Structure 1
């Protein structure tokens, strides 16, 4: 009887111990599930939507930009830097805008390879940092120099006396160098704060300049994103949108060729800004709000993701449209003469034959 009683107690103890272990395991599993859910909420509780089209959209747009934009910007850089006579502040801004476009275009072969291989970066973190800083810095450089051109045309039309005192190439050169230094130093500090090549998934693929963890956003991306949006987008866009109606109102009372040329320039800059730059920065602002969990709706986050893919491709089209800006600043006959000079490989000696009027 005693043995039977002890055996029964041992069995009960064993069952209680197993029940306790089972309860603990369930509790541990539940805790892990809760922690995982919390982590998902922190990173955004919405799964990344499928965007197969991006693997074809980006390469197609980038190849178009290389084919159309690179020759146009190279020609403009040569003309406004070395062939423009006399050299003015306006031509300095045009040269720098063309240079910014050329730098962006030089990074596109790497990005074409990246997207054709389904967003897998194979060139290492150093190359990711270099191409990333050149690509994004020059997006902001482009809109900054377009703003300078717009202000230059505004001053020439609305405040001609003041413009005559500040139109020297030296003044424009100082402004240009300052812009390059500010943007490149800001981007360089950001790049040196940490790696930009990140593991994307378990397959070993690597992302470049995207798919950052929430911790990265909290530590370094929020401040720089806010700075870029304010100084690199909202302020230049506001200047362009303010200068345009003021200059247009003034020009409507002037019938000179210089005034009409100025309004053509401002029209072109306004069109490029509204088509390429403004959508990109508006969507990037929404993307930033989504990462900060200000926008929490999964449908909204997914829509922003797709819009960001499209506007990132659209912003590169400015490299194709900028040659239109170069064209409208000159007369048609001058470009025809330039083409003949380019084909013949020599410049005529006659006075004014190959001079491009940009003042």
Structure 2
């Protein structure tokens, strides 16, 4: 994970040294150049940018400069301690199971997001004014979107792991291994880094002269808006949201059908399914849909001004996935539940219960074949 973070900062540092700020057309040259502030059209004429009165009110509205940072602050205050506790339990108190590696990396992705939220909080509190420079703006936005799409793929990987363990337990010996988990983790991080490169390599800060503020990822030249970022975010929506969502729906429905058919306990499986659907439908879906509408509406008729505030609110709500993920860990992993309870409660009765369960499994082992034991162990680690 340190290597990934180092790579991100190396890329942005290299861009700074080389003076690179790729943008498709300079917004500060004559004659007039059209710029979009999300759903707002700005006109730049000889370094002077102008906005309509309604647009000025919206970008300086209490929703943007007060309620948004409050939502980010709430997500930060709740999500950071939850994820730090989850990371400690997963790294130091949990057995290195294949699913554990996936959960650790999902927690790391959430921690990356939570660590950059204070910069977004200050940005909005100061009236959407960015003072930390172009390179750091790119890093913050890459981490911001990278968490959303990386979390989607890590949740899909966890769903696949549970699907193999519960639906195909006899294949788990070859499919649920540390090596396979490492391959999945590396693949997800490569996808995330590749998906965020366009944000890292394009200009994200623009000055709005009338307001005397520098926006971060809120103002884009219209040519980039229509010809670059619309297809870019459309591709992210298809491959980093819809595809993992489809995988999750298939895997979780198959798990529930299997548990119901075998009359197994399925309360935990239902909770996991509901929580994952909550992350996708409540946290990720609104921001992704409104993001596409923002770009598509401006391309069609330019009348998408009413989408600006709903989109910004949905983007803030999307960060609450970092608060829900640790709860998913609790229901997804028996090992995580046990270690969390033993670490926080230190209950001797609970430890005695675990010991009696172990003795019961050991006494009944002689009555089962090795294949049956493998199937049982595989399912226990996934429930």
| TM interval, short-chain normalised | 0.7 to 0.9
Equivalence for 2:327? 324
**Pairs within 5 Å for 1:1-359:** 43=41, 48=55, 50=58, 51-85=61-95, 87-192=96-201, 194-257=202-265, 260-293=267-300, 296=301, 298=303, 301-330=304-333, 334-340=339-345, 358-359=381-382
User: How many Å separate the matches in 1 of 2:293 and 2:226?
Assistant: 16
Matched-pair contact (CA < 8 Å) for 2:68–2:316: yes
Distance 1:73 1:165, change over 3 A: same
Distance 1:98 1:277, change over 3 A: same
Matched-pair contact (CA < 8 Å) for 2:138–2:200: yes
Distance 1:241 1:201, change over 3 A: farther
Distance 1:185 1:167, change over 3 A: same
Give how far 1:261 is off. Answer: 3.5
Matched-pair contact (CA < 8 Å) for 1:93–1:172: yes
Partner-residue secondary structure (3-state), 1:123 = coil
Aligned residues: 309
RMSD of the TM alignment (CA)? 3.1
Partner-residue secondary structure (3-state), 1:292 = helix
Matched-pair contact (CA < 8 Å) for 2:102–2:158: yes
More strand by share: 2
Give how far 1:245 is off. Answer: 2.6
Matched-pair contact (CA < 8 Å) for 1:153–1:265: no
Partner-residue secondary structure (3-state), 2:248 = helix
Gaps of 5+ in 2: 1-30, 44-51, 359-379
- Which entry has the higher C-alpha Rg, 1 or 2? 1
**TM (normalized to structure 1)?**
0.77
User: How many Å separate the matches in 1 of 2:333 and 2:252?
Assistant: 20
Instruction: Summarize deviations over 1:106-132 as a string: whole Å, max 9, x none.
Output: 001111110000100011111111111
Between stretches 166-175 and 156-165, larger displacement belongs to 156-165
**TM (normalized to structure 2)?**
0.72
Gaps of 5+ in 1: 1-34, 342-347
User: How many Å separate the matches in 2 of 1:288 and 1:297?
Assistant: 9
